[in-house]
Amino acid sequence: MTTLPAAQTTSRVARRAGPSKPPGGPFKPGQLTLIFLVAPSVLLLILINGYPFIYAIFQSVHDGTLISKGSYVGLDNYQAVLQSADFWAAARFTVIFTLVGVFGSWIVGLGMALLLRTDVPFKGTFKVLLLLPWVVPVVVSATAVNFLVATADSPIPKLFHAIGLGSPLFLADPTWAKVLVCVYKVWVSFPFMMLMASSALASVDDTVYEAARVDGAGSVKQFLYITMPIIARPTYISWILMTIFCVNDFPTIFLLTAGGPINATTTLVILAYRTVFQNFQVGPGVAIALIMTVVCVIVSTVLYRQLKKAHV
C-alpha cells in the first residue's frame, strides 16, 4: 500500500474543507480600526448638515418666525410660493443667470485653455492674469464694477456717451442690470472653467492630433471628434459644479444690484433671503430654498448620468 507524503495529505484535507475564513468576524484585518477612525467625522458631518436640513423641512411646514416655530400649516407655504408671481419671475431669471453663467464661462474658459496650449508669449504671466477674476474677493471686484458703471459720470457710461450710444444707467435700467450681472458672472467664473479644461486637455496626447492631420482632418473636425469626446467627463463635472455655484450665488447679485431694479435681477436665493430676513416669513422663505435644492439635485443627477455615458 502506497502512502502519500504528509504535505500532500494536508493539502487534500484543506481542499476538502474549503477555503479558510479569516479570523476576526465579517471585517477584514484593519477594517474595524478604519471604521472607528472615520466614524467621528461622519457623525460630525451628519450633525452639521443633516440636522439643519431636517429642521429646515420642519420650518417649511410651519408659519413661524426667526424666534418661534409657529403652528403647523402643512404644504400651505409651498402652495403660496408656487402661486406667487414673484417666485416665477425669480425662477425665470435664475434659469437665465445659470445658463449664461455655466455656458458663457465654459466657452470663454475653454477658449482660454486652448489658447494656452499654443506658443503664447509670457504664457506663465498670462495664465496668472487670467486667474485674477477668480482669485480677487468678490467684494473687491463688485466694488470695482460699481465704480465703473454706477452713475452717469462713471467711466463706462461716459465711454458709451463718447461713441454715441447714450449714457446708459446700468444699475437703474432692468435690461442693462440683467446684462451686467450675467456678464460679471461669466467674468468671475471663466478661470475655474479654464482650469478644468486645461487639466483635461493636458491628458490629450499630441500624437492623436498628428495622426488626424495626416488623415486630412482640419482644426474643426479635430476639435469636434477628438478634443470634445476626450474632455467630455471633466466638462460635465464642471457644468454640474457651475450650475450649483450659479443657483446658489448670493453675493454676486446682492453686491451689484441687491436684486433690483424693480426685482429685475432677483434670483431664487435673493428672494429666499428677502422673504426670511426682510419680510420675516420663515416658512415660505425656507420652502423656496428647499425647492431650489430639489431642482439642483435633479439637474445634477441628469448631468451625472450624462457623465457616466461619456466615453472616449
Q: Which domains does the chain have, with CATH numbers?
A: 85-309 (1.10.3720.10)
CA dihedral (99, 101, 105, 106) positive or negative? negative
Residue percentage of the chain with pLDDT more than 90: 34
Q: In terms of Cα–Cα distance, which of 226, 184, 193 is closest to 103?
A: 193
Q: Mean pLDDT score of the chain, rounded to an integer?
A: 84
**How far is C-alpha 33 from the geometric centre of its chain's CA atoms?**
35
Mean per-residue pLDDT, 8-33: 57
Residue 93 has pLDDT above 90, yes or no: yes
Residue 45 has pLDDT above 80, yes or no: yes
Question: Whole-angstrom Cα distance, residue 277 to residue 65?
Answer: 10
pTM of the model: 0.81
Mean per-residue pLDDT, 298-305: 84
Q: To the nearest 5 percent, what fractions of the chain are helix, strand and coil?
A: 70, 0, 30
Cα separations in angstroms, 215 against 157, 212, 218, 228: 52, 5, 9, 18
**pLDDT the model gives residue 109:** 92
**pLDDT the model gives residue 1:** 44
**pLDDT the model gives residue 4:** 47
**pLDDT the model gives residue 14:** 47
**pLDDT the model gives residue 266:** 94
Other Cβ atoms closer than 10 A to 216: 7
**pLDDT the model gives residue 80:** 92
Mean per-residue pLDDT, 31-47: 84
Mean per-residue pLDDT, 265-291: 92
Question: Whole-angstrom Cα distance, residue 279 to residue 81?
Answer: 14
pLDDT band, residue 129 (cuts 50/70/90): confident
pLDDT band, residue 27 (cuts 50/70/90): low
Given a contact cutoff of 8 angstroms between Cβ atoms, the answer to whether 271 and 86 are in contact is yes
pLDDT band, residue 287 (cuts 50/70/90): very high
Q: Which three cell numbers stand for residue 234?
A: 471633466
Mean per-residue pLDDT, 277-299: 90
Q: In terms of Cα–Cα distance, which of 150, 184, 178 is closest to 261?
A: 178
User: Which of 9-23, 116-130, 287-301 has maximum average pLDDT?
Assistant: 287-301
Given a contact cutoff of 8 angstroms between Cβ atoms, the answer to whether 177 and 267 are in contact is no
Given a contact cutoff of 8 angstroms between Cβ atoms, the answer to whether 238 and 193 are in contact is yes
User: Which of 11-25, 64-78, 197-211 has maximum average pLDDT?
Assistant: 64-78
